[in-house]
Structure 1
């Protein structure tokens, strides 16, 4: 992975982006040692949440898929228990794919794909931070 791509991705760590309809996107990204499960050296969790902070969809590599060695996967929109393998092609593609999926979710729910504000989460706010911690 290029240093520029890694820096761009790591800049998303702890970012929370609010949408005009009250939903928010949360990003957790950590550089990790290269392993068979994470051959590109990152551990990530990108999630979309509703106004009550219930997870609506996600992309992550925090845990393996049942009966597979693969770690990268999606949690489908409004069926987050359903895991679908995700083929990682690079840092920029990962971000584009996540935002594309968020846009599809907005269209499916009849809401605008419009961003309102963003902030950086405090460490203590990372209630599901265990997904990207060591």
Structure 2
């Protein structure tokens, strides 16, 4: 696996809580773990956006495995640990982890999109 220069940035953001306005906030958690087949990049992470009540409304993490979409072409596919949650109760959909920089880029783009949806309600 190639060196991921964004990992240091992600690790530097560990335990950060960032206000997003109107009571919304996000939290970033990231720490090194021993690389495994399930977590080959060696980073355990949880990036979450919360509404004013504290309820998570968006999350990217690799805390548990998720099944790929149920289609024939994915039959027998290995479970992925990197995934994202869009709603409070969903079990997550696979997220294709490329590197830590792309993870942060994708997360913040989704945060912007979700907050725009909230403002339009």
TM-score range, shorter chain: 0.7 to 0.9
Q: Aligned to 1:26, what secondary structure does the other structure show?
A: strand
Secondary structure of the corresponding residue to residue 110 of structure 1: helix
> In 1, Cα distance between the equivalents of 2:17 and 2:119?
22
3-state secondary structure, aligned to 1:93 = helix
Which residue does the alignment assign to 1:101? 110
Verify the 8 A CA contact 2:67 2:94 in the aligned structure 1: no
TM-score relative to the length of structure 1: 0.75
Larger Rg: 2
- Determine which structure has the larger strand proportion and give its number: 1
**What is the root-mean-square deviation of aligned Cα atoms in Å?**
1.7
TM-score, normalised by the number of residues in structure 2: 0.83
Q: For each residue in 1:4-57, what CA deviation from the matched residue of structure 2 results, as whole angstroms up to 9, or x when unmatched?
A: 322111001000001111100001101000101100010000000011111111
For the residue of structure 1 that corresponds to 2:92, the secondary structure is: strand
Tell whether the 8 Å contact from 1:58 to 1:80 is kept in structure 2 after alignment: no
**Which one has more relative contact order, counting CA pairs under 8 Å at least 6 apart?**
1
Are the aligned partners of 1:56 and 1:80 in contact in 2 as well (CA < 8 Å)? no
Q: Which residue of 1 aligns with 2:41?
A: 40
The match for 1:7 is 8
Q: What is the match of residue 80 of structure 2?
A: 70
In the TM superposition, residue 66 of structure 1 has moved relative to its aligned partner by: 3.9
Give SS of 2:23's match: coil
The ranges of structure 1 where at least 4 consecutive aligned residues each deviate by more than 6 angstroms after the TM superposition are: none
Gap regions ≥5 residues in structure 1: 112-134
